[in-house]
Structure 1
């Protein structure tokens, strides 16, 4: 018996060893054809009986997998070509699926090389459970007609037709199999029930332009309005019983078109409301017109229409050219010539030139001053609320800005709801009130120190009357912002460390957290702001309760003073379990329905476990105290979803060395069954052998954690080269799968562990005025703790970070020689000079980021000089002993390119080993695939040389002369 057991053990071991031998480290070239499920790449049919998911790759052709959830033998695969954003949909009645097929990767490459016309795409329509498949060639977008699911609507690409904005719309009847073509359709939209299709026509020379309604059940078309105008911005009500649109008509006097609101209701016998602002000289300010930049909408009770208005701008008048009198010109020239010939003082050619010039200065210049060529320049004024660079970034948005207005249909009255003194307006549920706000008074200071203030107003949507709610309201975090109740009659907001409810009708404020035994201030937020609030979960669907998160537990706070607040989850703070967020299983919900089970994502702060728990309804309203844990694992559990019309649930599970998979289950999440085969080629490659969670205490006494990912083929007792990576707090990624890809930063932890590296990801917490030193105080103790595991080769450790992580890297190597190599992507290197530079992506100044956001400084450099200098890598550059690979791109819109240049030149001046790579035209992260590939390979080559002792390629050891760069890049491209 023992011999048999030994034989079986040896047999099993030999199989395992053989499999391991067949697994290879994943190379960067392998990433190009790696196929996996993209975000949003899995769907259940509404009845929960069918599932579909797609597998796509960067340089691989994808496929759609379709099967019945209860029958794995029913699985079918369909090619979808090379898809960046795959498109597939089930019909609402769960009888059909449609999906798009894109050109193959080889076809795209060949077409790109030949600079051919855009390749055409297909849509395939399949009747579920049958072999019935129909293909439509040369299509654009597609959709089913909502709940009815009787038709498939397919956009056909626009070809020719001049300036007309319309193109063909194909309407395929799923019952009869027949198709109908509507021509020159600019926009179309189906109501919720799927019974009616509203569409606009935009044809050549505006012939037949108009708004139309097609009854899909009997195929009858009604003409609602026609004109030589552009019809756009269709918007159905949520119920689908009415819709609104815009009619825009050109007027040569203005740069903009003049707008008309079109409202349609009573679909059986359509009632059309037209409000033409240009004809309302008494009620509508004629300096304005209806804006095309905001979709109009009906009020819920169909009594009012809401829309945007914006100022009119006069068209520039062309200056008529004056007719030249040839005889007069000739006579004047003869007179001037006579004067010159009679001038006896002219003795030389020089004298003649002076005489002619003198005559010319006496001419009357018919050319107007404003015809002179104007300079191209910008005036930066110290009183500008927004930097000129910010104004440039926001220019189009500012041009297209519009104010909310309202038209009372029965009273035939237009009411402007806001103006330039109140720039923002949010229409609250049920359209009783709107919440207005404005920060213009504080905008300059906000842009300087980052502290957010705003004035708030309540607008009565019956009268348009505006009353102030708050003046200079402080918003230290998103959690403080006022949130409307589901009935639109109350507001929840955070102030001075507490949550309040404001009753709009009674104009009363109530502090709803002052008597609770916990704080709702986010104590983990270490930015330079005062009492930032943890974001609340929100209002119940009946507006009788508010659900608040104290960072651990969830509290149910009643609006009825006779009820007491309840800690629903109870064990969060005590057990160090965070009840993070609620899974929204109904995309149409309005508030949190407390009559139904609430599903919550749970996370173990110290264990890194995750799972899903439930909160159950109470008999007397609200929820019962006590959460029930349904899943709790050493894995990343996420993305709970539900079939729209059945009690069929799915969730995803992944580990650092196991790709994300979708699991099928029931309402109790019991007996989950794996549905997907994500990353089908994963078994060919070697992955991390596992993870370790490291506890450590920083130099300042903070208890933190780090994630240590073991290399593939890890053998206990053997030490491995290690790359340390960080960005504030990331230990929560302990169980997260990093899908192999070419990232914009060159980093992918799975590629490094697959190639024999250990990866350590420590947490960093920050002290004000010491963002750089905080990294030293946190990272070095984390490394010391990780070394004690015996995994890390302390003589072969590297550092890597990008952006803020790049700053940590560039600073750490000035404070310690412990690391053998470092790669810093787009790092801040001089906190003093960086403070006054511009974040070009947004156009804003960096000072607000330094004082109230990631920089975590109190005041500017002149108020805190020593702290800025103490935390700037550039001022400690002479201490650097670590070879550095520096990535900085010339068009970096976040961290100015000069930061990289400054650090590179300082290191070069000191003859320190530094290489800077720059990708022309790239921003803060790499965007072009060829650049992403190149940098990923170079960074691993850099670490392979310094941490593994591999030979340095020539670009590292010698550099690449400019004249040889083209050949060098061509040789390395793949």
Structure 2
């Protein structure tokens, strides 16, 4: 076959591509960062990069940090205050191991502890298909603070044992009931779920797991029933009923229990006047929905009969209840109806239940959704419910055996096929909000496939958002939406704005819709239709002043609304503005410009989650962060008064998590530094708090260095800062190896506590303990130059530290994950100043990555290059040279730095084929490279063993290249496929055998 020459394109795009390659050939980008330091020669030995370096000895009395150390560190979860402020409650869980509930008096030293079982449960299987990381459910405190209820999980031994016994019944949870008077704990076995009334404190209800054979049941009394799981289909095609189990209602005032059999759903009203529950038993004789008057124990039947009863919902006052049921329906596909009961009937009347809407009342192809949310509006005047789609008939399992099976990717699809596949369950079960107005007995469907809605607290205003029209531009990052006001009785729409880029919100009182557009906040009066620009006359910007991506800068946001929608609090970079949404009164700077003058960012702290408004008669609490020092604290401000904010507490630490007791002036917060864990502090005055937890007393047994802010100028003269972590007993007269880690900007973490841990990133505490200095530089970007921007930020920062004398210029390694991985891959193509690089989950070829899919979301990757993090600023056809110039792949021939990198084959963010391109290029160029692929795992490894393995391999790699350690076996000889896993079970590798080929390789004759 005669070969055919391929002629280059003569189009402008082709010219630009050739020019880009020419630029690579002459090294134009390299010249941006070239310097004697940047071009330092690399040692020739592929395994021992430098002479052996001995880390300084551990400080006296300190233990070495190992991977076993990681597992013992504990976190505080689910922290809360009792309503009276007398108790702080939280769960203490190790990374791996048994957790405990802690109930601590906020005054004095009384503390109760109770085991919670295996709460520190690592993920044992990789990827999204494996079980998710376990999170213990937060404990609940009774409204009167006398009882703390919490789930007790199986022990680690029970969980591990059940895992080894395949097919065995999983170990069950129990319920713990702790009495705050004496700390006594009552344990109830085999509990599925529990609930305390939000107000009150007398009653606790819990649903038991079924541990017996099905025997029927009844409402209020009778035998146990089989507890069903997800609905299944019987021989008629109708979904099977879900059968209930035993509900226990405990009167905490006297310890008596009432058992109700066959319960599937239950809920209290907020004021603890009622318990509503549904019963579904196999014989169906006692099925129904019921309410129990808690003060008297009287039970009222709302609906009875063989049916399914779901979505029980009280209004806030506890005077109404709604539910859905398929009572009286016998069709193959159950048709549910919406029911309503008034629990406060007129004198002489009894509680009666009426049917409001049936599935026959909705459009063809739709029905009342049995699993969608049912809720009363805040004032109880209206009721939102859900309308679903009639399910498609399923395709018989064997019907496609001899048929074509394929996906059709249509160029006008609103979503790509991968998105549709990921969203299939959600879309199959999608529901649309409808509203029933009780005073008029009218209802309307408000949402549909294209419109999502927000309903006002009184049900009289509805905001609708339609983004479907812009779904295709969203493909490349240019999505938008149209906004409407919708009549809640007719569903008629009034257009507010078209092609809006910002998120449109409805004010709490529904007087205004507000959104950010073209750099300004806009308000729309829902009663009059008047639109007002709220900020165009103000002398500051309300969008991110430091935004450095090729897109519209986002706003700083809104801090809330005052009572009656009179004022809206709007953030600029530093201060808070009090703005009249009607546009009549002039805006005023609530914080009096104190933030901008002092470089301090003020933000509102909302301590009352129940009230949608900010009370103008109550001092406003603010959190402040100093942009220069990263100090933080809490301040106080008065609304409607010209006054500067008053400092409550401020310091070089991270104050966070502020809570207030509902009925008392008692506060709970955390404060932390790099050296101090964010333990709990409490007090009646935020400025005077007492530490009441000590989650990690073992911290003092391990070396912990210091962290400081360092400054330099990038290649364009822009001032930058970074975090410098130094080992304990740091000696500035010595030269240390250094590991550099980066991801956008990390300096806000100056006062963030670091627990020892390890995965595919750098933990400064761990690396300090191994003798390294750790540097985390901030990066600023120029559109179209993500690679050079990183080089111009990072390299001068490294050079500034070398000039201080304590960093050995021959012992510097770099690493990053994802976007930081890309920066690492790029850096080694423009400088040889680094002795080792670990660019994990990296893109090396933007031209191929641009056309890929983010498999975790199904989104095409184009948007991130055109508008977000990858910062090219346009499409591949607009800027082909930018894609090439910023792609490490095209200059890997210049690399002299050894690389280790991870590319997992279930990565849902970066296509793992990028890792293959990296590996193939380095192998073809015969440059030292090691690729780790954790099978089935994700962008960041989820399996605990994989996290530890990449952590160890990164440590090994840096030890070899930066400290002169002996190379481990995997670096010297690799791990042949036939020996896969032997290193994990401590089996010796097989002896190397040489096989002499007996003929030509397969395919050697092909293509002649």
TM-score if structure 2 supplies the norm length? Answer: 0.84
CA distance in 1, matches of 2:243, 2:516: 47
Which structure: larger Rg? 1
Q: CA deviation at 1:725?
A: 1.0
Q: CA deviation at 1:680?
A: 2.2
Residue in structure 1 matched with residue 115 of structure 2 by the alignment = 79
Bigger mean CA offset, 826-835 vs 391-400: 391-400
Specify whether residues 409 and 496 from structure 1 end up closer, same or farther in structure 2 by C-alpha distance, changes over 3 A only.
same
CA offsets per residue over residues 402-427 of structure 1, 9 Å max, x none? 2222334455444232444x421221
Report whether the alignment pairs 1:656 with 2:679.
Answer: no
Report whether the alignment pairs 1:216 with 2:294.
Answer: yes
CA distance in 2, matches of 1:858, 1:173: 64
CA contact (8 A) 2:442 2:489 kept: no
Q: CA deviation at 1:948?
A: 1.9
Q: Where in structure 2 are the equivalents of 1:9-24 lying within 5 Å? A: 20-24=59-63
CA offsets per residue over residues 805-841 of structure 1, 9 Å max, x none? 1111111111111111111221111111000000111
Bigger mean CA offset, 853-862 vs 289-298: 289-298
Q: CA deviation at 1:894?
A: 0.8
Bigger mean CA offset, 122-131 vs 501-510: 122-131
CA distance in 1, matches of 2:625, 2:381: 47
Q: CA deviation at 1:213?
A: 0.7
Q: CA deviation at 1:691?
A: 1.4
CA offsets per residue over residues 868-912 of structure 1, 9 Å max, x none? 111101111111111111111111111011001110111111111
Specify whether residues 240 and 787 from structure 1 end up closer, same or farther in structure 2 by C-alpha distance, changes over 3 A only.
farther
CA contact (8 A) 1:88 1:98 kept: yes
Q: CA deviation at 1:191?
A: 1.0
Bigger mean CA offset, 149-158 vs 231-240: 231-240
Residue in structure 2 matched with residue 377 of structure 1 by the alignment = 406
CA offsets per residue over residues 713-744 of structure 1, 9 Å max, x none? 3223223222111111111111101233454x
Question: Aligned to 1:141, what secondary structure does the other structure show?
Answer: strand
Specify whether residues 24 and 873 from structure 1 end up closer, same or farther in structure 2 by C-alpha distance, changes over 3 A only.
same
* Match for residue 105 of structure 1 among 152, 156, 173: 156
Residue in structure 2 matched with residue 37 of structure 1 by the alignment = 75
Bigger mean CA offset, 839-848 vs 565-574: 565-574
Residue in structure 1 matched with residue 43 of structure 2 by the alignment = none
Residue in structure 1 matched with residue 479 of structure 2 by the alignment = 452
Q: Where in structure 2 are the equivalents of 1:551-700 lying within 5 Å? A: 551-559=573-581, 563-569=585-591, 570-579=593-602, 581-617=603-639, 622=640, 624-667=642-685, 669-688=686-705, 690-700=706-716
Bigger mean CA offset, 136-145 vs 758-767: 136-145
Q: CA deviation at 1:318?
A: 10
Specify whether residues 413 and 623 from structure 1 end up closer, same or farther in structure 2 by C-alpha distance, changes over 3 A only.
same
Residue in structure 2 matched with residue 869 of structure 1 by the alignment = 884
Report whether the alignment pairs 1:130 with 2:182.
Answer: yes
* Match for residue 745 of structure 2 among 729, 734, 742: 729
Residue in structure 2 matched with residue 343 of structure 1 by the alignment = none
Report whether the alignment pairs 1:809 with 2:886.
Answer: no
Report whether the alignment pairs 1:264 with 2:341.
Answer: yes
CA distance in 2, matches of 1:883, 1:264: 72
CA distance in 2, matches of 1:624, 1:233: 49
CA distance in 1, matches of 2:113, 2:396: 63
Residue in structure 2 matched with residue 443 of structure 1 by the alignment = 471
CA distance in 2, matches of 1:270, 1:968: 70
Report whether the alignment pairs 1:238 with 2:316.
Answer: yes
CA offsets per residue over residues 29-52 of structure 1, 9 Å max, x none? 2212x1322343x33222111223
Question: Aligned to 1:430, what secondary structure does the other structure show?
Answer: coil
Question: What is the Cα-based RMSD across aligned positions, in Å?
Answer: 2.5
Question: Aligned to 2:921, what secondary structure does the other structure show?
Answer: helix
Q: Where in structure 2 are the equivalents of 1:827-846 lying within 5 Å? A: 827-846=842-861
Residue in structure 2 matched with residue 921 of structure 1 by the alignment = 936
Q: Where in structure 2 are the equivalents of 1:412-423 lying within 5 Å? A: 412-420=441-449, 422-423=450-451
Specify whether residues 960 and 62 from structure 1 end up closer, same or farther in structure 2 by C-alpha distance, changes over 3 A only.
same
Q: CA deviation at 1:287?
A: 3.6
CA distance in 1, matches of 2:341, 2:378: 13
Q: CA deviation at 1:370?
A: 8.1
Report whether the alignment pairs 1:961 with 2:970.
Answer: no
CA distance in 2, matches of 1:44, 1:963: 57
Q: CA deviation at 1:301?
A: 5.0
Q: CA deviation at 1:693?
A: 0.6
Specify whether residues 716 and 673 from structure 1 end up closer, same or farther in structure 2 by C-alpha distance, changes over 3 A only.
farther
Give unmatched runs, 5+ long, in structure 2: 1-55, 121-134, 214-225, 229-240, 989-1008
CA distance in 2, matches of 1:249, 1:908: 68
Residue in structure 1 matched with residue 144 of structure 2 by the alignment = 93
Question: Aligned to 1:695, what secondary structure does the other structure show?
Answer: strand
CA distance in 2, matches of 1:228, 1:670: 60
CA offsets per residue over residues 788-819 of structure 1, 9 Å max, x none? 44443322111111111111111111111111
CA distance in 1, matches of 2:964, 2:692: 44
* Match for residue 403 of structure 1 among 432, 449, 456: 432
* Match for residue 274 of structure 1 among 309, 333, 355: 355
CA distance in 1, matches of 2:175, 2:645: 46
Q: CA deviation at 1:372?
A: 7.4
Report whether the alignment pairs 1:190 with 2:237.
Answer: no
CA contact (8 A) 1:758 1:791 kept: no
Report whether the alignment pairs 1:290 with 2:368.
Answer: yes
CA offsets per residue over residues 104-151 of structure 1, 9 Å max, x none? 223322332233421133222222132543221222222322211111
Residue in structure 2 matched with residue 167 of structure 1 by the alignment = 245
CA distance in 2, matches of 1:564, 1:889: 56
CA contact (8 A) 2:76 2:695 kept: no
Specify whether residues 666 and 894 from structure 1 end up closer, same or farther in structure 2 by C-alpha distance, changes over 3 A only.
same
Report whether the alignment pairs 1:549 with 2:626.
Answer: no
CA contact (8 A) 2:802 2:808 kept: yes
CA offsets per residue over residues 905-951 of structure 1, 9 Å max, x none? 11111111111111111111111111112111111111122122222
CA distance in 2, matches of 1:385, 1:111: 45
* Match for residue 64 of structure 1 among 69, 86, 101: 101
Give unmatched runs, 5+ long, in structure 1: 1-16, 320-368
CA contact (8 A) 2:98 2:116 kept: yes
> Highest relative contact order (Cα 8 Å, sep 6+), 1 or 2?
2
Specify whether residues 60 and 310 from structure 1 end up closer, same or farther in structure 2 by C-alpha distance, changes over 3 A only.
closer
CA distance in 1, matches of 2:582, 2:818: 49
CA contact (8 A) 1:243 1:297 kept: no
Report whether the alignment pairs 1:424 with 2:460.
Answer: no
Q: Where in structure 2 are the equivalents of 1:263-342 lying within 5 Å? A: 263-267=340-344, 269-280=350-361, 284-313=362-391, 315=393
Specify whether residues 290 and 510 from structure 1 end up closer, same or farther in structure 2 by C-alpha distance, changes over 3 A only.
same
Specify whether residues 778 and 248 from structure 1 end up closer, same or farther in structure 2 by C-alpha distance, changes over 3 A only.
farther
CA distance in 2, matches of 1:636, 1:379: 52
Question: Aligned to 1:443, what secondary structure does the other structure show?
Answer: helix
CA contact (8 A) 2:382 2:459 kept: no
CA distance in 2, matches of 1:132, 1:649: 26
Q: CA deviation at 1:204?
A: 1.6
Specify whether residues 463 and 278 from structure 1 end up closer, same or farther in structure 2 by C-alpha distance, changes over 3 A only.
closer
Specify whether residues 409 and 543 from structure 1 end up closer, same or farther in structure 2 by C-alpha distance, changes over 3 A only.
closer
CA contact (8 A) 2:824 2:837 kept: yes
CA distance in 1, matches of 2:604, 2:987: 48
CA contact (8 A) 1:694 1:785 kept: no
CA contact (8 A) 1:165 1:186 kept: yes
Specify whether residues 212 and 623 from structure 1 end up closer, same or farther in structure 2 by C-alpha distance, changes over 3 A only.
farther
CA distance in 1, matches of 2:327, 2:775: 62
Bigger helix fraction: 1
